[in-house]
Amino acid sequence: MRMDIQECEIADVKLITPRQFADARGSFCEIWSDRVFRSEVENLTFVQDNQSISRFKGTVRGLHFQRPPFAQAKLIRVVRGAILDVAVDVRRGSPSYARHVAVRLDAALGTQLWIPTGFLHGFCTLEDNTEVCYKVSEYYSPEHDAGVYWNDLDLQIDWPVKPEDAVLSDRDQRQPGLSELPDFFVYGETSRDLAVSR
């Protein structure tokens, strides 16, 4: 296999590191393998690739999710710069409910973060001009787009930026707290379960 896959503190979230092969010209790696992903992580189809460019260090995007039946699983990677990437478990009944995984992703290592459905997702840029690419398992649906306030104290996320210095969208400054979030996700449901009612 040309990828190393590790479980995070919340086992359903995984770090995927492509193996790099270097020579005098530079390096080569496989950043995506449908066969490996289906057999080693989850048997699903990604339908869309997204890319964001953040001009400034300290830009926070999140915490976002889509409600069922358009819930999105995501595979995140950085192609320039670096981020602190965060996934928050919001699956009711989960032993890790309201807990989070926070990992540094950067372009140099190429490590990717797999975030299944039932998690909030957000990140903070650690460098100027950071570019993030990610695969999603459902198309964007404005009617199902939702979020939670990035710095909700109930989440206890140690962001690498002070609240007064964070660069945020108007929308992300007005997101509700976790305590206001209905039970959209239940522990044990898969991406296919959440899409079946559509």
Residue 188 belongs to a domain: no
Residue 188's pLDDT is what? 85
Residue 197 belongs to a domain: no
Q: How confident is the model at residue 193 (pLDDT cuts 50, 70, 90)?
A: low
User: Which domain covers residue 43, as residue numbers?
Assistant: 3-21+29-176
Overall number of domains in the chain:
1
Q: Is 58 left (phi over 0), alpha (psi -120 to 50) or beta?
A: left
Q: What is the CA radius of gyration of the chain?
A: 16
Residue 196 belongs to a domain: no
Residue 100 falls in the annotated catalytic set: no
Considering 100, 121, 134, 149, which one is annotated as catalytic?
A: 134
Residue 198 belongs to a domain: no
Which residues make beta-bridge pairs with 11?
Answer: none
Residue 54's pLDDT is what? 98
Q: How far is CA 27 from CA 116, 132, 172, in A?
A: 30, 20, 38
Average of per-residue pLDDT across 73-97: 97
| Domain CATH code at residue 67 | 2.60.120.10
30 or 142, which is more confident? 142
Secondary structure (3-state) at 42: coil
Enter the DSSP assignment of 153: G
Considering 64, 100, 121, 149, which one is annotated as catalytic?
A: 64
Residue 82 belongs to a domain: yes
Residue 145 belongs to a domain: yes
Residue 126 belongs to a domain: yes
Residue 64 falls in the annotated catalytic set: yes
Nearest to 13 by CA among 107, 120, 108: 120
Q: What is the pLDDT of residues 146-172, one digit of tens each?
A: 999 999 999 999 999 999 999 999 999
Residue 192's pLDDT is what? 59
Q: pTM above 0.85?
A: yes
Q: How confident is the model at residue 1 (pLDDT cuts 50, 70, 90)?
A: low
Residue 154 belongs to a domain: yes
